[in-house]
Amino acid sequence: MAITLNNGFKMPVVGLGVWRMDGKDVRDLIINSIKLGYRHFDCAVIWVRVPYFFSFTDWDNREMGGYVKMQSSIHYLGFEFHSSLVSQIGKSKDADYKNEAEVGEALSEAFKTGLFLSYPVRLQLWNSDHGHVLEACKDSLKKLQLDYLDLYLVHFPVAVKHTGVGQTDSPLDKDGVLDIDTTISLETTWHAMEDLVSKGLVRSIGISNYDIFLTRDCLAYSKVKPAVNQIETHPYFQRDCLVKFCQKHGICVTAHTPLGGAAANAEWFGTVSCLDDPVLKALAEKYKKTVAQIVLRWGIQRNTVVIPKTSKFERLKENFEVFDFELAKEDMDKIKAIDRKYRTNQPAKFWGIDLYA
């Protein structure tokens, strides 16, 4: 099951996120997920500044262009060939990711074998590269040995002090607050993104973590419409107005943190998860499904793409078994009623500033 983007791509509605996963689990997890039918894997570069990062997604129903020699981790995962979307590959100095050794080993193995792949490619522009969009894109193309990218996203709606092309640092000022660059507007960044399309370096562009007003502004000044807006949304943070606004204007909404962060965000941010909600538990009993399956099915029926994270095989399997049932309208309404307007991702804890204020 897939959603068609406004540029013709078909994106699978269920993906797998592997952020904050122990490195020793990644290899077997991805192999098992592919066997189960997953074709969408997300490891986007995030604000914790990972030491090694990569992501690949298999998007079916799209004519792939050319064979590309790509240093990737696929060989290490046990595949001779895989039609994949490689999203992120690179290095950063700070280490908050826990799988750097295994990912590095996988990349090293692939460097030696010279794997050949055919895939569309997506990348995200980091905050410190807003004033260096062309250079950042070319740097990524060089690393990936590609002529163009299929989708390029502005990761966060904020420009920070430039720390070098391709870096993922989040520099703080002397007061421990994110060092924002006030000389670069989001409009300037977007027009630079559009230039990538006109130069043939990128086929489509998108946004991430944009609210309704920033999305509206982007539509107002854009010549090339954003194809995707990746945001946090789940039953406790439904953001119905933003989701409907994006969909009305042809922007696909991808839900990161679709299960509300669960234990991970409770540990990192002290937040609570919707998975313990009595309404959702009752629905899980009614449909003979897990609460997570109810939540993911709800997201799918909202016409959003969901990318849940798990390191456990049984949950990996459960999260993909969401296509054999449908929530009744009355039950969709019950879930709608439990919205708390509750955001679980709180970058202010690390950046010293409320980016969403």
Give the whole-number percent of the chain exceeding pLDDT 90: 41
Domain residue spans of the chain: 227-347
Per the model's pLDDT, the better-predicted residue between 131 and 356 turns out to be 131
Q: What is the pLDDT of residue 39?
A: 74
180-234 pLDDT, tens digit per residue, is 999 999 999 999 999 999 999 988 889 999 999 999 999 999 999 999 999 999 9
293-320 pLDDT, tens digit per residue, is 999 999 999 999 998 988 888 889 999 9
Using CA atoms in the order 220, 303, 36, 97, what is the torsion angle rounded to 10 degrees?
40
155 is in an annotated binding site: yes
Mean pLDDT value across residues 14-33: 70
Q: Does the pLDDT of residue 163 top 50, yes or no? A: yes
Residues classed as catalytic:
97
The rounded distance, in Å, linking the Cα atoms of 248 and 42 is 25
Residues linked to residue 89 through DSSP beta bridges, in sequence order: 54
CATH 3.20.20.100 fits 227-347, yes or no: yes
40-55 pLDDT, tens digit per residue, is 766 543 322 222 223 3
CB 259 within 8 A of CB 234: yes
Among 53, 184, 72, residue whose Cα is nearest residue 128: 184
